């Protein structure tokens, strides 16, 4: 009888040891931590380390009970403690849309954690065929803020490289003429999709070479350059949607990998801008746009060399984008924000009265410039106080938080006796335009926003390299005079 009792005690003791070794008392608070609940792989084969910590034994299954044939995990079970697992994609995603596997990590105490693993689709070939080591030579500016502080006055070469059919290519004499006029920065709007193979996203070598020459001429004249993907038919800017997110991100990656590789040797005079005026005015569409910006950053940085340190510029509706939700950049302090201002639009760009236009075309802006002869043409919003408030708001939202700002576009239309609309008080109208340009330029510079005037050939003659509209040029440069 005594032997049986002793045997019973031994068995109870061994069972308690086994129970303790697999998991602590379930009435305690068990440790179950995972390093992330979401893993996102891009469209190439890649791997990522994953950490889990528990005081229980664990094992891995999948929510749909099917082991995905594109994902490999280095360990599928283990004991308590901290374990490092390697998640690895082992086949490309050719489905055309992002796919997902839900990895379930189960513990002996009955609890579990789920990890979602995403893989982007492979739509275009990889164009990051020659990445190189980081190279900080020629990138003397220690931050985007330091670099952009060197800009005085900027100008756009508008209605050229962003158009499908370029009427007049920018020339080296024209670039030198811009510099003589007083500008030390140039924004080059570009349309890349129009010059790319639609099946492979391969950009035309001829167009890449043309853009490269223009950037070179600018930098040789000690001018800063902002190179972007402009509206370009709206392939990105009109498609900040969940349904288009995969295909747009694929093209964004393909284009920026090619652009960044082609322009990699230029020093920090060259900046890249992700988009132009993206249509994202809700939280949902902004989330999609932010993924496009993240793809832009990743693509540029992946090419290495000087692109590791290049200043990159992002855009978006200021109601939904701010430094707190900016994408991640592996290189610190190299991101900037771009803002456009055409307020009041009925004065600056509107060219039709109702019912075609959303308002009456306004001719008269600013203190002392309103007309008594045609009061319906006076501005009713967007005058000095509002524009001042706008610039102060941008300063508080971005500049004061360490993100420098470029006003990538601003301009106002000027009517004359031969225009579609002819102001009855032409002198007051001209002074209104002068005052608006000067006010916008000055107030931007006061708060630290660097202005780039939108110019399409009406102010500066691109063939003869002469000034056509001296009033507008004087108004831009008034702060320097």
pLDDT tens-place string over residues 388-405: 999 999 999 999 999 999
Question: Considering the chain, what is the average pLDDT of its residues?
Answer: 92
Residue 9 in this model has a pLDDT that exceeds 50: no
Confidence of residue 29 (pLDDT cuts 50, 70, 90): low
Lowest mean pLDDT among 7-16, 270-279, 325-334: 7-16
Q: Are 290 and 320 contacting, i.e. CB atoms less than 8 angstroms apart? A: no
Residue 467 in this model has a pLDDT that exceeds 90: yes
Within a 10 A sphere around the Cβ of 145, how many other Cβ atoms?
18
Confidence of residue 28 (pLDDT cuts 50, 70, 90): low
Within a 10 A sphere around the Cβ of 107, how many other Cβ atoms?
21
Residue 3 in this model has a pLDDT that exceeds 70: no
pLDDT tens-place string over residues 426-460: 999 999 999 999 999 999 999 999 999 999 999 99
Please give the average per-residue pLDDT across 242-254, as a whole number.
97
Q: Which domains does the chain have, with CATH numbers?
A: 32-119 (2.60.40.10), 132-480 (3.20.20.80)
Half-sphere exposure of 156 (CA within 13 A, CB side): 25
Residue 16's pLDDT is 45
Residue 307 in this model has a pLDDT that exceeds 90: yes
10 Å CB burial of residue 459 (0-12, 13-18, 19+) is buried
Q: How far apart are CA 298 and CA 257, in angstroms?
A: 9
Residue 179 in this model has a pLDDT that exceeds 90: yes
């Amino acid at each position: 009888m005594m032997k049986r009792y002793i045997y019973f005690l031994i068995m109870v003791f061994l069972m308690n040891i086994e129970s303790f070794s697999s998991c602590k008392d379930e009435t305690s608070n068990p440790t179950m931590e995972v390093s992330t609940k979401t893993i996102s792989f891009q469209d190439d084969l890649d791997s990522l380390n994953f950490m889990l910590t528990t005081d229980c034994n664990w094992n891995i299954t999948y929510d749909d009970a099917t082991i995905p044939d594109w994902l490999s995990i280095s360990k599928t079970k283990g004991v308590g403690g901290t374990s490092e697992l390697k998640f690895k994609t082992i086949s490309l995603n050719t489905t055309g849309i992002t796919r997902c596997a839900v990895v379930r990590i189960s513990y002996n105490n009955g609890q579990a954690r789920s990890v979602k693993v995403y893989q982007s689709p492979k739509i275009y070939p990889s164009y990051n065929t020659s990445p190189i080591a980081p190279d900080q030579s020629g990138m003397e500016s220690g931050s985007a803020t330091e670099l952009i502080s060197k800009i005085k006055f900027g100008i756009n070469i508008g209605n050229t490289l962003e158009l499908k059919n370029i009427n007049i290519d920018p020339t080296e004499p024209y670039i030198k003429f811009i510099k003589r006029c007083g500008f030390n920065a140039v924004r080059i709007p570009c349309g890349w999709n129009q010059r790319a193979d639609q099946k492979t996203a391969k950009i035309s070598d001829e167009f890449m070479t043309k853009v490269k020459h223009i950037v070179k001429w600018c930098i040789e004249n000690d001018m800063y350059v902002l190179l972007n993907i402009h509206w370009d038919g709206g392939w990105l800017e009109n498609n900040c949607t969940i349904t288009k997110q995969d295909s747009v991100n694929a093209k964004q990656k393909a284009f920026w990998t090619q652009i960044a590789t082609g322009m990699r040797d230029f020093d920090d005079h060259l900046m890249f801008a992700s988009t132009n005026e993206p249509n994202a005015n809700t939280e949902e569409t902004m989330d999609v746009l932010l993924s496009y910006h993240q793809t832009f950053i990743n693509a540029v940085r992946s090419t290495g060399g000087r692109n590791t340190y290049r200043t990159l510029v992002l855009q978006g509706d200021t109601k939904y984008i701010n430094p707190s939700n900016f994408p991640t950049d592996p290189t610190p302090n190299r991101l900037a924000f771009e803002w456009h201002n055409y307020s009041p639009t009925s004065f600056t760009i509107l060219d039709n009265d109702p019912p075609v236009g959303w308002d009456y075309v306004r001719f008269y802006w600013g203190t002392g410039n309103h007309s008594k002869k045609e009061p319906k043409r006076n501005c009713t919003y967007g005058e000095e106080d509002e524009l001042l408030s706008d610039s102060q708001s941008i300063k508080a939202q971005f500049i004061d938080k360490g993100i420098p700002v470029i006003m990538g576009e601003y301009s106002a239309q000027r009517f004359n006796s031969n225009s579609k609309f002819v102001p009855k008080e032409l002198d007051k109208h001209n002074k209104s335009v002068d005052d608006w340009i000067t006010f916008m330029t000055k107030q931007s510079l006061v708060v630290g926003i660097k202005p780039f005037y939108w110019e399409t050939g009406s102010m500066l003659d691109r063939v003869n390299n002469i000034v056509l509209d001296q009033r507008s040029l004087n108004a831009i440069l008034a702060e320097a005079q």
